[in-house]
Amino acid sequence: MVRLLGDMMLSFPAGIVSVFTANPYPAPLQFRILNASRLESVLPNKQLITRVKNACTDSVLVFEFNMNNLQELLVKQSKMNPQASYFNIDILKYQITPLAGANSCPFHIMSYWRCEERHTDLKIDYKYNQHSMARTTALQNVTLSVPVDGVVMDMVSEPKGEWLDNTNRAVWSFSDVSSIGSIRARFQLSEGPGSQGTIAAQFNCEGTTLSGVEFELVGAGYRVSLVKRRFVSGKYVSEPDHSTDRFRYAAPPPIGSDC
């Protein structure tokens, strides 16, 4: 189950407020969204922008600002925060059409469990999916966490992880991930057997997007000094195989099979 959501924000320098105040009829501000064919839906900020329908195509969307509303909003933000050096304006949200299967997922996770009376063994295989993003960029600040029941007395893992008593979770953290890897862990239990748990992942990625869309200004009078691209994980989990009972070991699939 894959759902990809995005949003687009413009940051205006504080100095533009005085420019707008001195010029009640500023140049119109328009922008294009390129590579828009993968967008399933687009929800513009109707108070600020409207679509220029006769300039749009299947892969390019064009929007223009309501300059009066933009001026009023920026003046209002300037009065509320006169020390700010810039003002952030949300201009639109969108939903991305996912690729088939898990191809849109930048981080693939599979888990294998052995739940015994006195211990639970866990193996997590993970894989970085560079094909999900517009530009190949490593995932950053990757965290994997999994609940383990059965009253854990001791945890040993490779690579080393951390056991959190207050939430009964094991956690592994990596500064970046750009390849495949595995985690192996054994949990000694006092009230086993335990059961399979849901693995949750968190990460972010800077300098690229999952949608591949690009922002571009239209016309003269304005310029973009910097474009930032990033995506972050939302609810990102790997469920156990519920077709097996808690005592059965979920063996990896044979080489060459589809999964």
The domains located in the chain, with CATH, are 4-98 (no CATH), 107-207 (2.60.40.1170)
DSSP 104: T
Q: What is the pLDDT of residue 249?
A: 40
Q: What is the pLDDT of residue 23?
A: 84
181's CB contacts (< 8 A; 6+ apart) are 125, 126, 127
Q: Could you count the other beta carbons within 10 Å of the beta carbon of residue 20?
A: 19
The pLDDT confidence band at residue 197, using thresholds 50, 70 and 90, is very high
Residue in the structure block whose two tokens are 């299947």: 58
Q: What is the pLDDT of residue 242?
A: 62
CA nearest neighbour of 91 among 121, 46, 124: 46
Q: Phi and psi for 36 in degrees, rounded to 5?
A: -85, 0
Per residue in 81-98, pLDDT tens?
A: 999 999 999 999 999 999
Per residue in 40-67, pLDDT tens?
A: 999 999 999 999 999 999 999 999 999 9
Q: Say if residue 250's pLDDT is above 50.
A: no
3 vs 93: CA distance, rounded Å: 14
Q: What is the pLDDT of residue 219?
A: 82
Tokens coding 239: 């469920």
6's CB contacts (< 8 A; 6+ apart) are 93, 94, 95, 96, 209, 210, 211, 213, 231
**Which carries the bigger pLDDT value, residue 240 or residue 144?**
144
Q: What is the pLDDT of residue 21?
A: 83
7 vs 93: CA distance, rounded Å: 4
Amino acid identity for residue 224 in this structure: V
Q: Are 129 and 108 in contact (CB under 8 A)?
A: yes
Q: Say if residue 257's pLDDT is above 60.
A: no
Per residue in 122-176, pLDDT tens?
A: 999 999 999 999 999 999 999 999 999 999 999 999 999 999 999 999 999 999 9
Q: Say if residue 22's pLDDT is above 90.
A: no
Q: Are 40 and 117 in contact (CB under 8 A)?
A: no
- Strand 230-232 versus strand 162-164 pairing type: unpaired
Report the predicted TM-score, pTM, of the whole model to 2 decimal places.
0.87
**Which carries the bigger pLDDT value, residue 16 or residue 24?**
16
